[in-house]
Structure 1
């Protein structure tokens, strides 16, 4: 199969066939496609933009102003023994947990492009720093889908623990290579704070538009796959194949939906089967993140020269470990929270969050975290004073 796909003619034929099928699907189902696109745009306006844009600005400022270098002085003794990466990489690790996908991955790529970490370190970071934000897991998944804050906390603990374990595993990736080649004296990347700020806002705006494009695209794709019968048919085949493991066509369709787009996938888990079964699948979806998120990350990788292989393997491991850990946590801390129909109905309105409220909370959180980075950078600078400092004002 791989040999056939390696031939340009075969690849072009399959690509042309896929484009033809997509065109026919749009012609046969124009209204569902338009409704899906409208839903995706609403999701971007009410959720994606207010939640991600401030954190993209923050991550860019942390790198552009050299705060990651100063932070690296403070955290080198933690990041190097645990994950075999420099202390400056702590900014990608922290922002990946707080900002949600794909903030951590974008920060890791920016660190590499600025010479603050080596290629091997950046590829290790990509494997475990692109995580779901706490707001999504605790709010949308925990309170919205499972109607329980305890469920949200348990899912987030499993998600975070799995991410750390993936980082520990990938510390052995190319362990023989010297990752200290990019160590350099802390420096401000921009001559003035105003230049760094305006550049960060422009970069964050383009990155957010890029993500919104993928969200809308995959929202339409999933709707067309369902309407055309392709996704239910594939789910039937997968369910039959995995029937010995307890998989049904219904659950196979939920799994396939989540593997394409995480928010669409978890929104199908409001009912059916046992609570532990739904939580296990939700944990896998959140760890895997979905092809939509992967496309967003791959678009950032672009021509950087970084290998996407470690990223994809890391996300697959993250999903598997999250599902494993949620089962263990449920045995240690049994949950008996029933699903509230009222809150479950809110899942269909993920995009209906109040824009101004979400934007306000996101901006305040980003500024508080930025102040934290400034304080940590100040401590790092005091730990080993640099020979010279430039004014950023």
Structure 2
């Protein structure tokens, strides 16, 4: 969309971090109605991988279908899923166009401008945001084609991708139909993810752009005016430092969650 592969690193890292933040937030999600029908597996023999393969084998035996039938059913279901996804994309693309023609988008434009104006965002990003509310592909493409500053386009695109659009939400609702999964927590998670991804992208864009520029900026020696670029090992060192920082953040988060669980267990033990 943007014609710049370096921006992919910014978007990917922003979404990894925002997904982690959303996951930690959902860890403390406690619905009002607890599900009392959950049955815990009391089988603790072997490690988790052994138990997983054992359950997989038992489920395969209970299924009873032959290999040929499994392949046929998998092929049929995959094609149906592809048709479903394509149909929803077309449906919401047409719906967005119809809403624009009847003037519905003009009604919500004022509200979006009111929200964006205090943050200094370009008004040309209003149409991509409206389109992105319904369909992720069109919204992201329109955001990349505006005349707004690159940083603003990346922030809005990141939010649109995290929100995913009502088209994807409709696909999810279709997929989980007939299960005990609920859409409400999913929708709130998408809203939280969209806001978080935009904020993380805002803080990451300039530092990552500076690092990317330094990796390809030619350096000229004042002594002999030799023209060269940063070598492989310097590039590896810069990438490794970022990776170690990210792994350290993951480790710190994991330890925090671990100690919180331990504290809860100790408190529960003494309360008994």
TM-score (norm 1): 0.45
Mark the CA change 1:249 to 1:327 in structure 2 (over 3 Å): closer, same or farther: closer
Secondary structure of the structure 1 residue equivalent to 2:209: coil
Q: Which residue of 1 aligns with 2:25?
A: 169
Q: Which residue of 1 aligns with 2:40?
A: 181
Q: Which residue of 1 aligns with 2:150?
A: 275
Mark the CA change 1:309 to 1:231 in structure 2 (over 3 Å): closer, same or farther: same
**Is the CA contact (8 Å cut-off) linking 2:124 and 2:147 kept in structure 1?**
no
Q: Quote the RMSD (CA, aligned, Å).
A: 2.6
Q: Which residue of 2 aligns with 1:328?
A: 203
Mark the CA change 1:300 to 1:282 in structure 2 (over 3 Å): closer, same or farther: same
Tell me whether 1:253 sits opposite 2:127 in the alignment: yes
Mark the CA change 1:293 to 1:259 in structure 2 (over 3 Å): closer, same or farther: same
Mark the CA change 1:236 to 1:177 in structure 2 (over 3 Å): closer, same or farther: closer
- Deviations along 1:160-209, one digit per CA (max 9) or x if unpaired, are 22122222221223498796625774224344322222121122222222
Mark the CA change 1:177 to 1:227 in structure 2 (over 3 Å): closer, same or farther: closer
Q: Which residue of 1 aligns with 2:139?
A: 265
Deviation at 1:327, TM superposition (A): 1.6
Deviation at 1:266, TM superposition (A): 0.8
Q: Which has the larger radius of gyration?
A: 2
Long gaps (5+) in structure 2: 44-50, 214-272
- Deviations along 1:231-265, one digit per CA (max 9) or x if unpaired, are 13421343146533435653222211111111110
- Determine the C-alpha separation between the residues in 2 that align with 1:249 and 1:324: 19
Mark the CA change 1:253 to 1:236 in structure 2 (over 3 Å): closer, same or farther: farther
- Determine the C-alpha separation between the residues in 2 that align with 1:195 and 1:235: 52
- Determine the C-alpha separation between the residues in 2 that align with 1:165 and 1:238: 26
Q: Which residue of 1 aligns with 2:4?
A: 148
Mark the CA change 1:274 to 1:242 in structure 2 (over 3 Å): closer, same or farther: closer
- Deviations along 1:125-171, one digit per CA (max 9) or x if unpaired, are xxxxxxxxxxxxxxxxxxxx211111012101211221222222212
Q: Which residue of 2 aligns with 1:219?
A: 93
Q: How many residues align?
A: 193
Long gaps (5+) in structure 1: 1-144, 338-393
TM-score (norm 2): 0.63
Q: 1 or 2 for the larger relative contact order (CA 8 Å, sep ≥6)?
A: 1
Equivalent residue for 2:192, pick from 317, 324, 337: 317
Deviation at 1:329, TM superposition (A): 1.6
**Is the CA contact (8 Å cut-off) linking 2:125 and 2:153 kept in structure 1?**
no
Deviation at 1:275, TM superposition (A): 1.1
How do 1:1-393 residues align onto structure 2 when only pairs under 5 Å count?
A: 145-174=1-30, 181=40, 185-186=54-55, 187=57, 188-189=59-60, 190-191=63-64, 192-240=66-114, 242-247=116-121, 249-269=123-143, 270-334=145-209
